[in-house]
Amino acid sequence: MISLSVTCVRRTFVVSTLLMFLEPATAADLKPGPQGDPTLESTGQFRQQEYRVPFAKDDGGPLLQALLLLPKGDPPYPLAIINHGSSRSPAGRTKRPLYPGSSRWFAERGFAVLTLTRRGYGESGGYWAENYGPCSNPNYEHAGRASADDIEAGIRYMRAQPVIDGRCIVLVGQSAGGWGVLAAAARNPEGVVAVLNFAGGRGSLKDDEVCEPDALIKTAALWGKTARVTTLWVYAENDKYFSPKIARAMFDSYVAAGGVGEFVAMPPFSHDGHRLFGYGWKVWSPPVDAYLRKIPGLMK
């Protein structure tokens, strides 16, 4: 159950002009902030803006590639930060997952949506920091903390933007991104009122084979020990990365250690339920919508 003490206190002021926020950088070299001109996403419903988010607090260090999708209506908006998974192969990390359908789902409900590309993926700067070591002795804590560092950079940067309501932030993660948002939840970031973990985990070697699943379960307890923000765990029955048995064991370990959460077991989706978040928003919409509406003040 979600504690009613968890409340998203929405600000009521209106920013005078959105264009001020979207004014692109004019320098030829990449700097923190908007890149190029705003565009319409594929359906033409919402405006989107490319960004480079500074990893470091002083705007130094690597810049993280990000795409901001803006909803209709007046700002400030609650914010959903979407965090991608990780390919089993190094070559796959050059790709940039964007989840357009899932992003629109949040925008239709009034959220600004930031799809953040972590260090070592896509065109983001920095090295790939999420290596968990050998399969025989994986360090899932290290991988999760590295992801959480990038996620916190996104939170910190976006909370400072005038069109964002910095007290109404939802973290969303798929696969390795789901593991990352759980690690971030353990830090209880300011402004984060909910965490959505879709098929979260690390260490999938191949279909139905995970490196040392007991290490995942133990690390989930580590996250739950300090996390106080509410979480929703969504896994499909036919997930070929993390089976229902492993998923449920991670959740039980997390809650037993003190974490707050709900677990939703979804029916089989497509040929691999691990794809549910990116392609099955019509399927996961009812439980996720109901969950978010339990948080006072989050959804209009």
102 vs 14 pLDDT, higher one: 102
Instruction: Look at residue 257 and tell me if it is in a domain.
Output: yes
Q: Within a domain: residue 14?
A: no
Q: Is residue 18 part of a domain?
A: no
198-227 pLDDT per residue, tens: 999 999 999 999 999 999 999 999 999 999
22 falls within a domain: no
For 298, the token pair is 């989050």
Task: Report the DSSP pairing between strands 47-54 and 33-40.
Answer: antiparallel
Is position 49 within any domain?
yes
| Helix axes 140-159 and 213-226, enclosed angle (nearest 10) | 40
For 160-198, the pLDDT digits (tens) are 999 999 999 999 999 999 999 999 999 999 999 999 999
- Name the residue range of residue 162's domain: 30-87+95-293
36, with CB counted inside 10 A (0-12, 13-18, 19+), is exposed
Domain count, the chain: 1
Query: Considering the domain boundaries, does residue 247 fall inside one?
Result: yes
Provide φ and ψ at 232, rounded to 5°.
-125, 125
The reply to whether 170 falls in a domain is: yes
Per-residue pLDDT tens over the stretch 27-80: 335 789 999 999 999 999 999 999 999 999 887 789 999 999 999 999 999 999
Could you tell me if residue 17 is inside a domain?
Answer: no
**Residue 26 pLDDT level (bands cut at 50, 70, 90):** very low
CB 79 within 8 A of CB 164: yes
pLDDT at position 24 is: 44
Q: Are 194 and 231 in contact (CB under 8 A)?
A: yes
Output the domain CATH number for residue 121: 3.40.50.1820
What confidence tens digit (pLDDT) does each residue in 240-266 have? 999 999 999 999 999 999 999 999 999
DSSP string spanning 201-236?
Answer: -S-EEETTEES-HHHHHHHHHHHHHH--SEEEEEEE
Q: What is the DSSP letter of 89?
A: S
